[in-house]
Structure 1
Amino acid sequence: MDSKKKSQNWLRETRMSSSDAQEDIVMDDHGDAEDAEGTLSFSLLLDKSLPSLVVIVAWNPGKDLLAMVTTDRQLIVHRLNWQRLWAVTPDFTVTAICWRPDGKALAVGHVNGSIAIHDVENGEVLRRTGTHQVAVECLYWAEEGQNITDHEDEVFFYEDRTPRFFPPPPKPPSMPGSAPSFDMSVLGSAVDEQGGSSLKCATQDVRHGLDILCSGDKDGVICLSAFGVFPIGRLDTRELVICDTDCRGKRTSQQLLNASALQVSLSSDLRHMTVVCTGTNTVDGRSRIAGPGNYCISVNTSILGDRRKELRQVALQVSSIEELIDVLQTSLAVMEKHWSEAITAVRKKFSGFTQLLHEHGWNVSPQDELLGLLTCGHASPALHQFLASTMGEGGLKRLAKSVDTASKEMCSVLAEHMQPAAEIIVFRLGELRGLARWEDRLASVGLEEDLIDRALEHATMLSVQLERLLRIISETTGGFRVFFVWLLKALRQLNRETLSQTEPLPNVDSTAVANFLQTDFEKDPVSLHLSNSSPNVVVDVPKEVQELMEEVATMGGFKDTKFLRRTLAQEIEQVTICCQEAFAKPLKVVSPQLGSPCLILLCNTAAAATTKISVSSTYFEVKQDDIALEEEEKQGLPATQYICFQLNDSSSLDDPSVIGILRGFRPDHSEKEKKIVPEGVAFQLDPSLRCNDISLYKQRQLVLLVTEKDPESGKWSGQSWIVLLQLDELPFHALQAFEPGNDVDLFELYSTKRSPTEISLRDGKVRALPQSDVVCPLAVSASRGLACVFTSQRRVFLYDLEEDEEAKDEDME
């Protein structure tokens, strides 16, 4: 609440400045505190113009930030004073956005099915996942509640021991030739002084609980990802068969055809998920309605709540391992580029020597010609021309320096990035193996010891491969260094020059030069390990070394005795594949346990112009001081979950706007629990009002953005309003008539007893807006008590829903 007051005071001071004089002009047109009819207006905090229309918007739950997607495909984050924090243009069209509960990351769904996690500070993509195959339609990020209870004893406690033994995990190195990324940490956080931008930040601090990103796509597939990056559950609503027994005792099965997700939400105890989707319902294989409808599916996700501690620990370890594997792969690419640039320059120069030999009629290789110079001390005319004219002393020094620099860069990447990453991977896989042995708790979430053992063995072998590569780089670079020193001496002798006293050259071991020319000059063992990931490539291993590996294997510790025949690139590929197999198991094990669903038809859209409806779904927290809610809980009524949706029964804009609200709709978690009966209410607006958008608000309130019809022109261009309705004051009724396969939708169930309630401007808390061309989306911040309203004329208005203009004017006086 303190941060909210600071934001309001700061905005109030900003509004009094000359730069925001336009806001005062807007309010003067409608009176200081009341309009012509005496209706109070909300406090207007901001009035700004927009370069493009906004199609998607979301408030940050913990900070004064607003994320928007515009018609020109930009993803923008603004501060509360409308100062732009950052803006990016994604490669694919953005279809859904959602903030992480702590407000430090933004999940962005795209039309191609990918989901990107953006850093709140600078918009950098922290992680990108290909979770879906088609467009992502909805996102919802749920966090484990503080007062969540356990069904079992508190025996599972998580402690991340990695920081005890290892320094902070390495970051991927920069690709050579690319500009280094700007480090925001040297300036401090632009949004949170205590937070960094690290999963670099996609996973939360270990002190926090589990959070799950729920995403739904156009094909009705719902995916659940721990910390937004680790898939732990998948539900296909098109393949979901809902079995139940009707009032006559007949067993029925229902299934949605052509389902498409509209909204998804997950309760704070992680045991109940609600999906609103479109589709055609079939009962026992036969369609029961003429066209598509909007349905609500409630799914029992108790496995997530009961095993949240196990899932959280596995997710943290897996997320860290996947980040470190990215470090390995990026480091390998960086090393390969460093070495390829240096070795390509050497080969390019000596390819010119080959051409010179052919021009002089010599059918020998450069390697043989150089060995002849080494053994006989005599250079052919072609070799003399190559060394004296083509190369020169400066060219030899540049080649030697390029190889030496590449070697140093590669050793630096190995020491600072790859080796620390491999060590932490081994440690974390060891932690997971230890957890996997607790089968009673971890087997239910898919942690399998055999798969972890296989990944751990390859990760251990990777450490050996890194040590071998470090030795190979050292030996190969030493060979090149001796070779270039020998060439430089040979060049000076051919030119009859004495060695410079200011630049003395070291003594050269002719045996080392001969060994280099016979082995590493043509074969290039470094490139063999960096760029060859094909399984057909085999590294030559001495027979005595292979026999030693087999003897060591008989003593235990590992099973693969031929791992030295693989290259480093192949070993990293093996580690990646084994980890993917082990980490995919939880998704396969948890997904079938998302069960006991139930289905209800919200409204039949066969006659509607479109099946796309405005929908808002949330779970209201149970508070100790909420007496009304406590009474409902005593009666067994689940009043914490609400689904609100809007639909016009036909394509005519003159028809009244109809709003439906459903609460307490969920499957039974056990046979011991009391039978839960869902409740609902349907109401229509006064015929002179049209609803533009809806949004559930804090303390179980509903916010409506409505426009009044102009009585003279008959067009929807009259006064616009924000209406706040208290949900607990609406006449909810139990859906006793609901049964599986019922063709009657939610509205028709009410009409059998009474007509839908009619709502006018006299109901609830109503405030007039100074503009009439309001359009969706309506953005409401429950944590800040703010509403953001957009107009078709590309303007944005920010209102304080907790403060009236009259109260604000009294405070100013």
Structure 2
Amino acid sequence: MQCSFRQLKEKSLSTEVTQMQWNPKMDLLALANTQGEVWLHRLNWQRVWTLSPPTGTTEGQGVTGLAWRPDGQVLGVGYQNGQVVLCDVEKAEVLHTSTLSHPVSCMTWQEAEDKHRVTSAPVHVDQSSSPVSSQATPQDTAADFLPRLTPLPKGYSATDKANSEEEIVEDNKRLSSQTRLNILVVGDEAGSIYLLAYGLFSMGQLAPEEHPQAKGGRLLSVTLSSDLQCLSAVVQHQASADTSQPEHTICLTTYNTSLLATRSQELATLAMKYGQVATILGYMENTLRSMSEAWEDILLEMDNKLAKFAETIDNKDPDWQVSDEFLQLLMWGKASPELQSFLLNTLTEKGLKKLGLSIDNSYSNIEKLVLNHLQRAGQALLFHLSELKGLSLWYDKYGMLGLNTQAVQEAWSCAGSFMLKTNELLQ
């Protein structure tokens, strides 16, 4: 038996490794080091990509948890600052970020058994079948009614050529391939347990006050059974200085999570809807950012064209800009004597035409972003919120899970107001 195992390879790394996780489906190994980086290697030790630590922070960047989604397409990374990042395995692209109130201490990702097979969103439900039957899986009908979201152009003066790239914007969270509910279970240093459907949708939290055995302890491990009936947690307690107990005590606690099993299809539906809404909101945020940059291009162009005018003005206000003077002309139709002289004598008719053409192009880009991107995203958002409102009225299935009709209605009203503002902008 001494020769039953043999060493295949031995590799030296430049930085100490703190976490390791094999991919359950592919020949990939995820490694985390003390600098907060995550490396992805193949079995031949070829490095696929490197994920840098979260930006904007200097502390709490250490990786304290790694977990692969059961299909091996997404890697979950937990950090000391409480962030949980979902990373696409192909592009090292951050798909989603959740922030917990305490540092992450452990993570595990569990997939439900076959009898809990579900798909996107239940718009049509066969009540004669079992609630967890894989034969009556409801389908997401959003694609039948909504125009497809197109990728944002890379350049705001560019044409639709950038939109010809094959990119599925609607699947930004990589959920289209999910046919079974899977749950990311995260434990933190304070003893709280978080349940995240598909790693995105926070569907439950078990606080230390609700399980006194974990109060004041650190979660070492959390595991959810494949039938979603049982959750186990291993907690480490540190003995107080005035006791004769061992320095550390380990406690194993088990919880009944049968609600997850009986409502797995409903939870999967809400999680899919959450992923769709989150994708649309991110798309709208990027569109608004593009519109803001296009507007800044207008102001920058005016500043460049009117630089000579600025040199002739003796203005003592430190916040004064040439664009302020020009915008007053556009809004009120009145120009200062200095601006009139500049436009008539210095800028010339040719220069004025170039300036007008540049401004027209920028306005045209903004109009395209509103028509082709912002309005489509707003329509999709209203559609999904309307479906959520309908689901919230079914209390026995969704209302009891916390889906509140009033909250959904308020969100729907805000989205409607946003669409009205979008139409006003076009007019």
> TM-score category by the smaller chain?
0.7 to 0.9
How far apart, in 1, do the equivalents of 2:244 and 2:171 lie?
Answer: 48
Residue 70 in 1 paired to residue 27 in 2? no
Q: Write out aligned runs for 1:99-138 (5 A).
A: 99-130=68-99, 132-138=100-106
In the alignment, is residue 215 of structure 1 matched against residue 180 of structure 2? Answer: no
CA-CA distance at 1:372 after TM superposition: 7.9
Letter in 1 for 2:210: L
Match of 2:319 in 1: none
Once residues 454 and 43 of structure 1 are traced to their aligned partners in structure 2, the CA distance between those partners, rounded to angstroms, is 63
Query: Aligned residue for 2:139?
Result: 159
Unpaired stretches in structure 2, ≥5 consecutive residues: 55-60, 118-127, 316-324
Q: Given that residues 151 and 169 in structure 2 are in contact (C-alpha distance below 8 angstroms), is that contact kept between their aligned partners in structure 1?
A: no
CA–CA separation in structure 2 for the residues paired with 1:126 and 1:143: 19
- In structure 2, the partner of 1:707 is none
What secondary structure sits across from 2:398 in the alignment? helix
Q: Return the alpha-carbon distance in structure 1 between the equivalents of residues 66 and 170 of structure 2.
A: 20
- One-letter amino acid of the structure 2 residue matched with residue 145 of structure 1: E
TM-score (norm 2): 0.80
- When the two chains are superposed, the root-mean-square deviation of aligned CA atoms in Å is 3.6
CA distance in 2, matches of 1:385, 1:197: 47
| 2:333 corresponds to 1:383 | no
* TM-aligned CA distance change 1:214 to 1:394, over 3 Å: farther
Amino acid at match of 1:107: G
Match of 2:420 in 1: 464
Q: 1:266 aligned to 2:224? A: yes
1:409 aligns with 365
Where do 1:611-622 residues align within 5 Å?
none
1:60 aligns with 2:23: yes
What is the CA deviation profile of residues 688-731 of structure 1, one whole-angstrom value per residue up to 9, with x for unaligned ones? xxxxxxxxxxxxxxxxxxxxxxxxxxxxxxxxxxxxxxxxxxxx
Q: How far is 1:108 from its partner?
A: 0.4
8 Å CA contact 1:143–1:211 kept in 2: the answer is: yes
* Residue in 2 that maps onto 1:240: 210
Deviation at 1:280, TM superposition (A): 5.6
SS class of match (1:42) = coil
Cα pair distance change 1:256/1:120, threshold 3 Å: closer
Compute the displacement of 1:454 (Å): 1.9
Q: Is the 8 A contact 2:302 2:355 kept in 1?
A: yes
Report matched runs for 1:470-489 at 5 Å.
470-471=426-427
Where 1:277 maps in the other structure, the secondary structure is strand
Aligned to 2:125: none
Q: Which residue of 2 aligns with 1:335?
A: 291
Give distance in 2, aligned partners of 1:140 and 1:221: 14
2:196 to 225, 233, 243: 225
**What's the secondary structure of 2:70's corresponding residue?**
coil
Tell me if structure 1 keeps the 8 A contact 2:191–2:214.
Answer: no
- In 2, Cα distance between the equivalents of 1:154 and 1:411? 49
Give the 5 Å matches for 1:440-519: 440-471=396-427
CA contact (8 A) 1:105 1:119 kept: yes
| Equivalent-residue separation in structure 2 for 1:145 and 1:295 (angstroms) | 28
Q: Distance in 1 between matches of 2:25 and 2:360?
A: 51
Deviation at 1:225, TM superposition (A): 0.7
SS in 2 for 1:323: helix
CA contact (8 A) 1:170 1:327 kept: no
User: Could you tell me whether the CA contact under 8 Å between 1:158 and 1:313 is conserved in 2?
Assistant: no
- Counterpart of 2:43 in structure 1 is 80
Shift of 1:349: 5.5
Amino acid at match of 2:175: T
CA separation in 1, counterparts of 2:31 and 2:314?
66
Provide the secondary structure at the position in 1 that maps to 2:381. helix
Counterpart Cα distance in 1 of 2:301 and 2:356: 10
Quick one: structure 1 residues 126 and 416, their matched pair in 2 at CA, closer, same or farther if it must change by over 3 Å? same
Number of residue pairs matched by the alignment: 390
Matched residue type, 2:371: A
Distance 1:449 1:176, change over 3 A: same
Task: Provide the rounded CA distance (Å) in 2 between the counterparts of 1:235 and 1:171.
Answer: 39
Encode CA deviations 1:757-781: one digit per residue, 9 max, x unaligned. Answer: xxxxxxxxxxxxxxxxxxxxxxxxx
Q: Is the 8 A contact 1:139 1:263 kept in 2?
A: yes
1:139 alignment partner in structure 2: 107
**TM-fit CA distance, 1:174:** 4.8
Q: Does 1:51 align with 2:51?
A: no
The answer as to whether partners of 2:116 and 2:180 remain within 8 angstroms in 1 is: no
Matches within 5 A, 1:1-12: none
Per-residue Cα deviation, 1:509-530 (whole angstroms, up to 9, x for no partner): xxxxxxxxxxxxxxxxxxxxxx
Deviation of residue 213 (structure 1)? 0.6
Contact 2:116-2:181 within 8 A present in 1 as well:
no
Alpha-carbon distance in structure 1 between the residues aligned to 2:93 and 2:261: 32
- Asked whether the equivalents of residues 239 and 246 of structure 2 are also in contact (C-alpha less than 8 Å), the reply is no
What amino acid is aligned across from residue 383 of structure 1 in structure 2?
Answer: Q
Secondary structure of 2:421's partner?
helix
What is the alpha-carbon distance in structure 2 between the residues aligned to residue 394 and residue 197 of structure 1? 42
Amino acid at match of 2:258: S
Deviation at residue 458 of structure 1 after TM alignment: 2.2
Retained in 2: the 8 A contact 1:116–1:125?
yes
The answer as to whether partners of 1:271 and 1:305 remain within 8 angstroms in 2 is: yes
Is 1:318 paired with 2:318? no
- Whole-angstrom CA distance in 2 between matches of 1:420 and 1:307: 32
CA deviation vs aligned residue, 1:393-427 (integer Å, no higher than 9, x gap): 45423422331221122122222321111111111
Look at both structures and tell me which one has the larger radius of gyration over its CA atoms.
1
Aligned partner of 1:692 in structure 2 is none
- What's the secondary structure of 2:296's corresponding residue? helix
Contact map agreement 2:214 2:235 (CA 8 A) in 1 = no
Quickly say closer, same or farther: Cα 1:411–1:197, change in 2 above 3 A. Answer: closer
1:234 is matched by which residue type in structure 2?
Q
- Note closer, same or farther for the CA distance 1:133–1:467 as it changes in structure 2 (3 Å cut): same
Is residue 250 of structure 2 the alignment partner of residue 294 of structure 1? yes
In 1, distance between residues paired with 2:338 and 2:381?
Answer: 56
Partner residue, 1:200: 172
Q: 1:148 to 1:319 in 2, by over 3 A?
A: closer
- Determine the C-alpha separation between the residues in 1 that align with 2:397 and 2:334: 71
Report the residue type matching 1:311 in the other structure: L
Counterparts of 2:101 and 2:233 in 1: how far apart (Å)? Answer: 19
Contact 1:256/1:281, CA 8 A, preserved across alignment: no
Q: Distance in 1 between matches of 2:334 and 2:82?
A: 62
* Cα deviation 1:292-326 (Å, max 9, x = unaligned): 41111111111111111111111101111011111
The residue identity in structure 2 corresponding to 1:95 is: T
1:88: how far off?
2.3
The whole-number CA distance in structure 1 between the counterparts of 2:375 and 2:406 is 25
Q: Show the counterpart of 1:277.
A: 235
TM-score (norm 1): 0.44
Residue 336 of structure 1: how far off its partner (Å): 1.2
SS state at 2:114 partner:
coil
Is contact 1:204-1:227 (8 Å) kept? no
